[in-house]
């Protein structure tokens, strides 16, 4: 592997490129600033905070992970995780990450995740997990392409009904992803060299479109192949506000294609810049 760097070095490089200072949260004021960022993004407040400052303080005091990113002395993003245990062993579960509006395209989220990766490795953890809404295209691209995390399970209505401004009125389907921190593809992605998937190339090679976007509406074709593509809406968060019924059509269509394929043994190999999930049979070569 070309010029492999260690976790702290990669984290520092990501922070420099994003022009942020990333470090663990320490004071109650910092926890409050982080809580305010989350509430601003999800449209919640003190009465129904996404992550109350007091809870973050307790989690961090107990040895869990809570970090923030500062630009020019102002906190612009934060991430919180806690220790988990499953059949694969101990890991860090990353519960929430948020970057203030207008800052998302400047590398702050990537810098926060690289800091999280370095922290986990330094604490003897080689895996980080989290969930995200599979309909949110920008998050899918970030998680699966920029970070090279692997979706493992499609959960239907994972959190039940949610009342925040982002999720209200929709079912809370989630993709559960595993980020194997020492995997070659994760190291390449952390170094700024993520593997590319191009929908046009895949289609030319015989990939099947399992779910298409036809004039903004989902259309499934009911067929499967060794490589399949599932489309996503351009901006489901905005779509929920303008057409809740159409957003629901997308929810059920993706559940019945991507979710069903994963239950039947397909794995998600990646996500394209143009908004397609790339799936393949789990033949031992689908994950690298």
* Burial of 112: CB neighbours in 10 Å, binned 0-12, 13-18, 19+: buried
208 plus 114 within the same structural domain? no
Tens of pLDDT, residue by residue over 96-111, are 999 998 766 689 999 9
* Enclosing domain of residue 73: 7-190
Q: How many domains does the chain have?
A: 2
- The shares of helix, strand and coil residues in the chain, as percent rounded to the nearest 5, are 35, 30, 35
Pick from 156, 190, 224: which residue ends a domain?
190
The arrangement of strands across the sheet holding 227-231 comes to 217-220, 208-214, 227-231, 276-281, 266-271
Is residue 242, in this structure, part of any structural domain at all?
A: yes
46 plus 137 within the same structural domain? yes
Torsion, CA 193, CA 141, CA 17, CA 98, rounded to 10: -150
Q: Is residue 5 predicted with pLDDT exceeding 90?
A: no
Is residue 252, in this structure, part of any structural domain at all?
A: yes
Residues 174 and 130: their CA atoms lie apart, in Å, by: 9
Residues 65 and 58: their CA atoms lie apart, in Å, by: 11
58 plus 151 within the same structural domain? yes
Could you tell me the sign of the dihedral formed by the alpha carbons of 146, 52, 60, 29, in that order? positive
132 plus 265 within the same structural domain? no
User: pLDDT grade, residue 3 (50/70/90)?
Assistant: very low
Instruction: Give me the CATH number covering residue 16.
Output: 3.40.630.30
179 plus 228 within the same structural domain? no
Q: Are 117 and 128 in contact (CB under 8 A)?
A: yes
Helices within 90-163 (DSSP H only): 108-122, 137-140
Give the rounded percent of residues in the chain with a pLDDT score beyond 70: 95
Is residue 288, in this structure, part of any structural domain at all?
A: no
**Overall average pLDDT of the 242-264 stretch:** 96
**Six-digit token pair at 166?**
């982002």
Pick from 190, 219, 234: which residue ends a domain?
190
Is residue 229, in this structure, part of any structural domain at all?
A: yes
139 plus 277 within the same structural domain? no
Is residue 275, in this structure, part of any structural domain at all?
A: yes
Tens of pLDDT, residue by residue over 10-52, are 999 999 999 999 999 999 999 999 999 999 999 888 888 889 9
Q: Are 148 and 186 in contact (CB under 8 A)?
A: yes
* pLDDT at res. 104: 67
């Amino acid at each position: 592997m070309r010029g492999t760097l260690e976790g702290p070095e990669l984290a520092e490089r990501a922070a420099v490129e994003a022009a942020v200072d990333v470090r663990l949260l320490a004071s109650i004021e910092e926890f409050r600033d982080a809580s305010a960022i989350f509430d601003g993004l999800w449209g919640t407040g003190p009465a129904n905070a996404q992550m109350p400052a007091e809870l973050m303080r307790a989690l961090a005091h107990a040895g869990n992970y809570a970090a923030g990113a500062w630009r020019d002395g102002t906190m612009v993003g934060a991430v919180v995780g806690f220790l988990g245990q499953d059949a694969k062993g101990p890991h860090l579960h990353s519960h929430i990450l948020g970057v203030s509006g207008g800052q998302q395209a400047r590398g702050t989220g990537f810098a926060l995740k690289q800091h999280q990766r370095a922290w986990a490795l330094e604490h003897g953890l080689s895996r980080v997990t989290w969930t995200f809404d599979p309909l949110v295209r920008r998050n899918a691209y970030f998680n699966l392409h920029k970070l090279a995390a692997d979706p493992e399970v499609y959960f239907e209505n994972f959190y039940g009904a949610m009342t925040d401004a982002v999720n209200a009125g929709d079912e809370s389907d989630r993709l559960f992803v595993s980020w194997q921190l020492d995997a070659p593809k994760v190291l390449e992605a952390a170094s700024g060299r993520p593997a590319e998937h191009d929908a046009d190339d895949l289609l030319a090679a015989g990939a099947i479109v399992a779910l298409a976007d036809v004039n903004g509406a989902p259309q499934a074709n009911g067929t499967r192949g060794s490589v399949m593509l599932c489309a996503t809406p351009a901006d489901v968060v905005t779509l929920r506000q303008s057409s809740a019924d159409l957003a629901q059509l997308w929810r059920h269509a993706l559940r019945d294609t991507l979710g069903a394929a994963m239950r039947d043994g397909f794995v998600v190999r990646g996500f394209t810049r143009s908004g397609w999930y790339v799936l393949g049979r789990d033949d031992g070569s689908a994950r690298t």
